[in-house]
Amino acid sequence: MFRSRLGRRRGTAAVVLAAASLMLTLGGCGVDRITPQDARDEAGTDDKAGAGGSARRVDCAEVKCIALTFDAGPAKDTPRLLDILKEKQVPATFFLLGKKHVDRYPQVVKRIADEGHEVANHTWSHRILTGLDKAEVREELALTQTAVEKITGTKPTLMRPPQGRTDDTVSEVSKELGLAQILWSVTAKDYSTNDSALIRQRVLDQAGRDGIILLHDIYDGTVPAVPSIIDELKNRGFTFVTVPELLAPGKAEPGAVYAPQAE
């Protein structure tokens, strides 16, 4: 009886620890998160205004929207991914890694921007920002800001911290650099498998309204899974948008953390 109770206690403790770890990874420690609906509600109901004041392509208060995002590229498969997105007429948001990616594939970065996708920042070398001092956090973000601006003529306004880990220091530096922080609600954990069918199923199992899908265009199994993910979600009535479109008429505020509610 004692061993049984002890085993249950250990099991419960393990579940609590795992849940706490997940919350830390996705939300940061003590950092408030803003949902897409919150961002839209706070902006009011001006149907003509969108992110940056431009006309909105879609109203996510009325339409079932979902944002497709890709981290840690560009890479060798990104041109193929861009072909797929162009064929399917789907916009995406690319959180680009600076070292060995932006600097290695400048023409792909330019193509991402030229084809209407959102170009965003995923740091220079994928260091966990919560383990760095303020100057190091600034360097990780500023280097990629500069590299992207040299290629596209525009600095990103969005960033995604590696592993979703953020804190007050990261938020402060992000605000100084004009960067809003974007987390996610759907992850295929494609870093752990090259099984495209499994990646597809994981995304579809988690997809919901106002969702933000996290994928990586650097892994072999991911890009092949994208066409069927898009087709099935369209069949389910979803409209694909960029992250700024998901928040419109709200605008991502520098330093703030945006994340959908998990389904």
Q: Compute CA distances 145 → 108, 122, 156, whole Å.
A: 16, 10, 6
Q: Determine contact, residues 26/165, Cβ cutoff 8 Å.
A: no
Of 32, 71, 190, 231, which one is the catalytic site residue? 71
Q: Which residues contact 67 (CB under 8 A, 6 or more apart)?
A: 92, 93, 211, 212, 213, 240, 241, 242, 243, 245, 246
What's phi and psi for 257, nearest 5 deg?
A: -110, 125
Of 117, 190, 216, 217, which one is the catalytic site residue? 216
Known active-site residue 195: no
Strand, coil or helix: what is 256? coil
* DSSP H or E segment with residue 214: strand 211-216
Amino acid identity at 219: Y
Known active-site residue 216: yes
Question: Which positions are catalytic?
Answer: 71, 216
